[in-house]
């Protein structure tokens, strides 16, 4: 073998050592160290960018009050009545099956979290609670239970559905459409001479009165596909009666149980929501149709029948469609519209003021 051949072999050997020997290993070690350093930086950034700080439960985020275990110690099955519960805890957040089931909901803070990436966020972390009670046909307590974070309303309602009732198989959008505006703000002729009035029976003449507090559905393009049921916390009859009563009181009239000048009787012909989807928006639509009969309690028995209708739309430019706040908004606006119509009704004012003149 000549010297030139030996030189070529040495060149080849050196080349192979560079690829597979110590220089190559050093290159891979360097790459691994860089990758590990990069991953460590990402991990540290994640730790710094987001976090959760748990705290003892405190402060009410949603609901009208917390119901502690100590608050329900007085409950006794077969003895405690529905009236006892309402006096103790107030109006429930949801009433089902002809007031056989009452549901209270609330949320408290159980910690604070933050995220610094993508614009940042910080705020409280909530824990949700449910308190459910079931009563028999005579209004006496059958059972009750207090749920923590892991029970949704749908799951709890399905578990508590009476055997003779239809199961609720869809998601539920629960709303509380209580007017926030005093309709006296919009009136041109408030009543100067107050009268005493009594509230009579309010009936439900909707096309499907058996639906109770189910007032409609969230639907997509096809009417047959229902995303969720929309329910009110109370029966629509109770809501309308309470709003009419409150409005007459806000106008200066006095609610009495007997010896009234007038009696107010009502009929709820429509109280519902629906949705409409087009190319740009997915709307929530609320409709209201209430018939009031106001007549003299004594004397001539003069009476008038007045009809108040309202319809409002909330447009939602979002692929998720209308939310609970949108359904609540349109029904609240319908009720406020009815209030304004009551206040500005010249025929109603004539009957009421005629009695006191």
For residue range 157-178, list pLDDT tens digits in order: 777 777 666 666 567 888 889 8
Q: Mean pLDDT throughout 231-236?
A: 88
Q: Mean pLDDT throughout 85-113?
A: 83
Q: Mean pLDDT throughout 70-93?
A: 90
pLDDT-derived band at 357, boundaries 50, 70, 90: very low
Could you tell me which residue, 325 or 52, shows the higher pLDDT? 325
Kindly give the interhelix angle for 324-343 and 236-250, rounded to the nearest 10 degrees.
40
In this structure, what are the phi and psi dihedrals at residue 93, rounded to the nearest 5 degrees?
Answer: -80, -20
Predicted local confidence at residue 16, as pLDDT: 40
% of the chain at pLDDT higher than 90: 29
% of the chain at pLDDT higher than 70: 69
Contact 270, 206 (CB under 8 A): yes
Contact 21, 83 (CB under 8 A): no
Q: Of 212, 278, 251, 220, which Cα lies nearest the Cα of 340? A: 251
Angle at 239 between CA 186 and CA 144, to 5 degrees: 145
Considering Cα of 90, then 91, then 95, then 99, what sign does the dihedral take?
positive
Rounded CA separation 207/199 (Å): 24
Q: Mean pLDDT throughout 137-144?
A: 91
pLDDT-derived band at 60, boundaries 50, 70, 90: confident
- Cβ within 8 Å of residue 189, ≥6 positions away: 343, 344, 346, 349
Q: What is the DSSP secondary structure assignment for residue 86, as one 8-state letter?
A: H
H-run or E-run covering 338: helix 324-343
Q: How many Å separate Cα 34 from the centre of its chain?
A: 51
pLDDT over 80 (residue 18): no
71-75, 210-214, 256-260: which is most confident: 71-75
Q: Tokens representing 292?
A: 């009031």
Q: Mean pLDDT throughout 88-115?
A: 81
What superfamily does domain 183-356 belong to in CATH? ABC-type transport auxiliary lipoprotein component (3.40.50.10610)
Rounded CA separation 259/255 (Å): 10
Q: Mean pLDDT throughout 186-197?
A: 63
Encode pLDDT of 268-320 as tens digits.
999 999 998 887 888 999 999 999 999 887 766 688 999 999 999 998 876 77
Between the alpha carbon of residue 354 and those of residues 52, 262, 270, 300, 303, the distances in Å are 66, 12, 31, 13, 12
Contact 193, 178 (CB under 8 A): no
Could you tell me which residue, 269 or 148, shows the higher pLDDT? 269
Predicted local confidence at residue 174, as pLDDT: 85
Predicted local confidence at residue 192, as pLDDT: 58
pLDDT over 80 (residue 332): yes
SS3 category, 98: coil
Burial class (CB in 10 A: 0-12, 13-18, 19+), 335: buried
- Cβ within 8 Å of residue 3, ≥6 positions away: none
For residue 90, count other CB atoms closer than 10 A to its CB: 11
Predicted local confidence at residue 17, as pLDDT: 40
| Domain ranges (residues) in the chain | 49-169, 183-356
């Amino acid at each position: 073998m000549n010297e030139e051949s030996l030189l070529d072999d040495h060149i080849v050997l050196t080349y192979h050592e560079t690829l597979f020997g110590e220089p190559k290993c050093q290159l891979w070690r360097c790459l691994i160290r860089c990758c590990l350093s990069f991953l460590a930086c990402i991990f540290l950034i994640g730790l710094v960018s987001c976090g959760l700080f748990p705290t003892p439960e405190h402060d009410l985020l949603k609901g009208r009050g917390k119901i502690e275990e100590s608050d329900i110690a007085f409950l006794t099955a077969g003895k405690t009545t529905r009236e006892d519960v309402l006096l103790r805890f107030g109006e429930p957040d949801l009433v089902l099956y002809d007031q056989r089931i009452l549901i209270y909901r609330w949320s408290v803070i159980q910690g604070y979290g933050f995220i610094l990436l993508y614009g940042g966020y910080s705020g409280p972390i909530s824990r949700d609670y449910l308190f459910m009670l079931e009563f028999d046909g005579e209004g006496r307590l059958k059972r009750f239970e207090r749920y923590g974070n892991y029970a949704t309303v749908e799951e709890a309602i399905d578990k508590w559905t009476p055997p003779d009732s239809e199961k609720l198989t869809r998601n539920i959008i629960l709303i509380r459409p209580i007017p926030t505006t005093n309709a006296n703000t919009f009136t041109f002729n408030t009543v100067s001479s107050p009268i005493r009035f009594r509230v009579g029976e309010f009936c439900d003449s909707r096309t499907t009165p058996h639906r109770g507090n189910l007032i409609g559905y969230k639907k997509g393009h096809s009417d047959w596909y229902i995303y969720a049921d929309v329910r009110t916390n109370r029966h629509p009859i109770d809501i309308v009666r309470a709003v009419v009563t409150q409005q007459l009181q806000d106008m200066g009239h006095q609610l009495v149980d007997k010896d009234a000048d007038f009696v107010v009787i009502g009929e709820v012909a429509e109280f519902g929501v629906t949705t409409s989807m087009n190319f740009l928006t997915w709307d929530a639509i609320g409709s209201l149709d209430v018939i009031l009969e106001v007549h003299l309690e004594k004397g001539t028995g003069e009476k008038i029948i007045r009809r108040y209708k309202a319809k409002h739309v909330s447009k939602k430019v979002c692929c998720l469609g209308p939310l609970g706040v949108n359904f609540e908004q349109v029904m609240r606006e319908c009720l406020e519209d009815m209030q304004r119509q009551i206040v500005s009704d010249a025929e109603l004012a004539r009957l009421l003021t005629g009695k006191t003149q």
